[in-house]
Structure 1
Amino acid sequence: MNGATKAIYLLLPVLACFTRLQAQHTSGSFSITGKVSGTKQDTLLFQRYSPGNLIIDTVLVENATFVYNGQVNEPEFTNVKFMGDNHPNNHEFYFFTEKGAYSLDINGNDISQSVVSGAATNQAYFTYQQENKPLLDEILSYTFAYLELEDKVTPGLSTQDTLAVLNGKIDSLNEILFRKDEDYIQHNHQHFFSLYVLSQDIKNGMDAETAARLFNGLDSSLQQSANGVSVKSVIDKSLQYAVGKKIPPLVLADANKQSRNIMTTIKQNKYTLIDLWASWCVPCRQEFPFLKEAYARYHPGGFDIYAISMDLFRNPWLKALKDLQLPWVNVISNNKLPRFYQVNAIPFNVLVNNKGVIIAKDLRGAKLDKKLRQLFQQ
């Protein structure tokens, strides 16, 4: 899904110079020796991420130095911060924990300005950031503006118009990022960092077809790694929603506990939006002014919405239906949905024709009206 209401990944610059990196044997032990300056904090908190796993370690600082040893199967994205320190400048420092011996100099005045030396994946990572700082900063600027506005307001078309403009700018900048990343990944198909770049681009909305092509061009050792298997799973999931795919059947109960067959709704209309949401999802509820406007305008001509709530309990969903007054088909998940409907993030939608074939997806904000206007003018 495109846009800022997805999880925000802040570490996505683009590399302009393409240095061919060699394949790595990534499994083994690591030893990080470090120095700490500018603070008397005596405990560091390391959080290491790998597919389906989070390792948290504390490391003591003695005489402004520390040593952190351990084992990794492949490079692990890591953040480090001072334990219990709430100083506004001491957020986190991000790097990769990888096999080998290298150094980490912690800047206690601003931990984000710390430095890792002597590790290949980190060298690629920080070069990647530095070379493209202007583009990354611009993406973050629009992203933070979007999130700040989204968090402070209730749904309304005037606000949604502003959010749509911001979202459009983020999408446009991400497209620039994706095109540059294609070149980077193709030139560095043997290096673990390329797999990381691809994984982040997928999370930020790269289309599944492009992601699949780039993944298939990676070295087989990367494809078969734990991170590779995880990325492949996400790509395969996204390919289900490609234009031209047909959705699977589904029957769920509405607010009156009456069964509502999704195929009945689809066959009775020219176009149907399948919308996944939940009563507790603020970005979902902020989409409803757009959905209501589209429904009022195009329903008489053959447009409908089949909205699937992902709520675990009926009462919050029923209250939301009463408060929001949604005029289309509303059903609630039975927690045993087919895999197609088990999405990773909401809001999520696909637009299908009267045969249940997907013709568009992620029609957020003004994108829905734009697509429907094209379809009904044909």
Structure 2
Amino acid sequence: MIKIVLFTIMSLIGLYGYTQDAYLIKGKLSGDHEGYKVFLRYMNPNGLKEFIVDSTYVKNGNFILKGKLASDMVSAKLHMTALGKELDPLDWKNYHKLDQQEFMLQNAEFHVTGPNIKQARITGGPVQTDYLVLLDIIKPLQQKADLISKKMMENAAAGHSEANKELGPKYSSMAKAIEDAELRFLDTHPNSFASLLIVSNQMGVENPKFEERFNKLSTAVRSLSLAKALQAQLDAQKTVDIGKHAIDFVMANDKGVVVSFSSFKGKYVLLDFWASWCGPCRSEMPFINEIYQKYKDKNFEVVAVSIDSKKEHWLKAIKEDKMSWVQLSDLKGYKNDAALKYGVMAIPRNFLINPEGAIIAKDLRGEDIEKELSKIIK
């Protein structure tokens, strides 16, 4: 699941005791990449938007990037392209085409060694060292999941989203295997920063499970500001737990007409949070389209809220995925009003709401949406 991180990771010095005030990334690639361009990008500290912070060229197999982080750490990505063959790294359709790798960037010295960026080993900094232990465990599973995800994204980009109905369960199975491996790591590494990352990636699960996992972290790890932000987010999500009443909001639709969410009271509503750049979200659309066509005349509505910031990308995705249900967005990206009210930190995310306005299910995926609706709508 793609994760929306609405906070910055701070205050790591107390746990790791590292105080270098700048980062230095030294790359040594064995492949023939003379003149290729290497980019460094990471998330805006205030929210979703990734941006490129630096770039350089490969010379004699080597490259260097350097700078200074205002925060103690960010989740960053390196990617490399040949001149004249640049791809937009923020377009979800290019995700599997890019020669890229994610790593944990601190003000420390890093070494990137390998035939290319994707296959390189990135070492350096205490947080990345910690993170590599986890990556070595889940890498074989992640590679299999990526192959399925790549095919699903190709299908969606080609307008063949129906083909993903068979691949969806396979991807879910691999995602479950990765989650199980991560939870085993959490059980045995309660004082690891990587365990905190695991817990942060579990914000999409039901709150009782999240709290159980969060409480497995050591006192030292729970004292970090990321952990404190997770605790605050958990408290906020309790306001939209199953059994709670849906929160009203007002937002413009794709035609520019202002819509009040409360106007759908009296119907079963699937409130779905997504974005044009979110591959897993787009892969869910065939399932949503199927249940919408089946139940739209049975007092059921789908209300999709996009956290896009660019209108043209939002409208293009609606057309590509043939979404004929209600489409809303304020084009504020991660600051989307509805997303903030519903404590959305991860997409895809959805809430099933009954005619009385109560939340009766959350985070339904694929065929699970149909199974749930078949129980309540005859």
Given the two structures, how large is their TM-score scaled by the length of structure 2? 0.67
Q: CA RMSD in A?
A: 4.8
Give the corresponding residue for 1:137. Answer: 143
Task: Classify 1:376/1:25 alpha carbon distance in 2 versus 1 (closer, same or farther; 3 Å).
Answer: same
Written as runs of structure 1 = structure 2, the 5 A alignment for 1:1-378 is 6=2, 23-30=15-22, 32=24, 34=26, 36-38=28-30, 39-41=33-35, 44-49=38-43, 51-52=45-46, 56-58=53-55, 64=62, 66=64, 68=66, 70=68, 73-82=71-80, 85=83, 91-100=99-108, 102-107=109-114, 109-117=115-123, 119-153=125-159, 160=162, 162-202=163-203, 205-232=204-231, 234-236=233-235, 238-249=237-248, 262=262, 265-266=264-265, 268=266, 271-275=268-272, 283=282, 286=286, 287-296=288-297, 299=298, 303-305=299-301, 307=303, 337=337, 339-340=340-341, 343=344, 348-376=349-377
Amino acid in structure 1 at the alignment position of 2:40: F
Q: Offset of 1:61 from its aligned partner?
A: 7.1
Contact 1:37 1:106 in 2 (8 A): yes
Amino acid in structure 2 at the alignment position of 1:34: K
The whole-number CA distance in structure 2 between the counterparts of 1:363 and 1:33 is: 41
Task: Classify 1:71/1:353 alpha carbon distance in 2 versus 1 (closer, same or farther; 3 Å).
Answer: closer
Identity %: 18
Gaps of 5+ in 1: 10-21
Gaps of 5+ in 2: 6-13, 87-96
Q: Offset of 1:30 from its aligned partner?
A: 4.8
Contact 2:40 2:54 in 1 (8 A): yes
Contact 1:46 1:56 in 2 (8 A): yes
Q: State the secondary structure of the residue aligned to 2:209.
A: helix
Q: Offset of 1:65 from its aligned partner?
A: 6.9
The whole-number CA distance in structure 2 between the counterparts of 1:73 and 1:256 is: 39
Contact 1:246 1:358 in 2 (8 A): yes
The whole-number CA distance in structure 1 between the counterparts of 2:206 and 2:164 is: 22
Give the corresponding residue for 1:17. Answer: none
Deviations 1:98-136 (A, max 9, x none): 355x551444x4233333445433333333223333311
Q: Offset of 1:291 from its aligned partner?
A: 0.8
Q: How many residues align?
A: 337
Contact 1:28 1:72 in 2 (8 A): no
Amino acid in structure 2 at the alignment position of 1:133: K
Q: Offset of 1:240 from its aligned partner?
A: 4.1
Q: Offset of 1:148 from its aligned partner?
A: 1.4
The whole-number CA distance in structure 2 between the counterparts of 1:278 and 1:103 is: 33
The whole-number CA distance in structure 2 between the counterparts of 1:348 and 1:118 is: 34
Contact 1:277 1:307 in 2 (8 A): no
The whole-number CA distance in structure 2 between the counterparts of 1:260 and 1:125 is: 44
Q: Offset of 1:208 from its aligned partner?
A: 4.0
Q: Offset of 1:177 from its aligned partner?
A: 2.3
Task: Classify 1:151/1:7 alpha carbon distance in 2 versus 1 (closer, same or farther; 3 Å).
Answer: farther
Q: State the secondary structure of the residue aligned to 1:132.
A: helix
